[in-house]
Structure 1
């Protein structure tokens, strides 16, 4: 399996919440190298950290892994703002060495142009009725808690992981209609920007398909599906699911490229160290 990519996109890690698969996403990033890493929103969950969330050492390790990618592989990292990490509005835009923090971006590769955005800007509930969005977040948090209880008992019975929230979304007609409308609206936005494709996250539904001539790519999430988008050096995109990775095989086939010269160390660990006081960012 290929372990070196031109670009990797991940989104919706929701660090600071109980449902975040911080260890898994850090392990995932250890298996692959890339020229560009795009963190497409909701990486840190400021909403939960304001309430009952907690910042743990494993969450800091995720950023430590990213710093190593910058230093060892000279990876360019783009952190795009999502709705749950809207506290970034206070510092946007920001450039520190190979780390760029911004709202959205245009990405050009192999003769094609992609508009990359988290996707919440197209969600009228989130942007216009914030209190309703918070209520929805509470309900989703409860569903994730219930999902953990279900999978605890499934593991004891030797059964595979089951995403309860994805199952509920698939059964509720209004949710299905919302997802369809969401995907169509984003492809319209890509067209309006004269782009060949759209890359997004937000709705926690990984996808790679063509809609009305526009390539629609959704990186999924690291709460339920544990998925990412990867582009090879020929411009082909694929979805990678953590649960389908043969880590033994990728470890054996991985080629470690050391930088030819010393690279600048990006002083971001000061921003997210082990003693990081999460609430100070979300006041």
Structure 2
């Protein structure tokens, strides 16, 4: 497997895969090989199909997980072993994406106020006021914060694209308070050893707990803060093309999905300080 592993690593590097994707793809190929106790290049299309049937019927592995394995194996067999096609005989339908319930400003305020610590409170605030994906928040480094110019530098976001997003004054004030308390060295939100970023799962878990303490029963995880940012900015008059740039979307149609919450979105051309608005307006009684 060592030569095959090296060849697969080389191909993934050439394709620009993230470290996380590389690890998950290698793990999928390793699981297949371990199941048959054979090198993966000695297996047939039928062997691979039977492995997926085993996962679904006997191990009750989630379809989404099997879909991820299928992507990994297609890459390995088609790009490393140069098969013309991976014939598994079946396809796993993509699960319909559930749109989370929209969090109101009052909901967001309550969740932030119920954060377990200043660290998580700050992470929630950045998600909401800057419209970031959680993976972008955990990857933030001190060097990416440009407080004098009022923007955050998002390095290698989704699709390996860099972009700058507005950094509101109230969020800068929160970051300064956080800095005084934690003094992070490289990553804004380091893990316990201080040298690597905090895990996505850690912040997601804390968000779920904060939402529960706040009594918010709407569905959706921390990505709901990004949805709330987009919707609240559109309602305040931000042009959709400006929002598209801030969110890092490639296709305007992706941004337009927020319009169903904003039937009369404006074209005021401004970006509001969402945190300041929360501080000025108390949650609904």
Same fold (TM over 0.5): no
Q: Which has the higher contact order (CA 8 A, sep 6+)?
A: 1
- TM-score of the superposition, structure 2-length normalised? 0.24
Of structures 1 and 2, the larger Rg is shown by 2
> Structure 1 or 2: larger strand share?
1
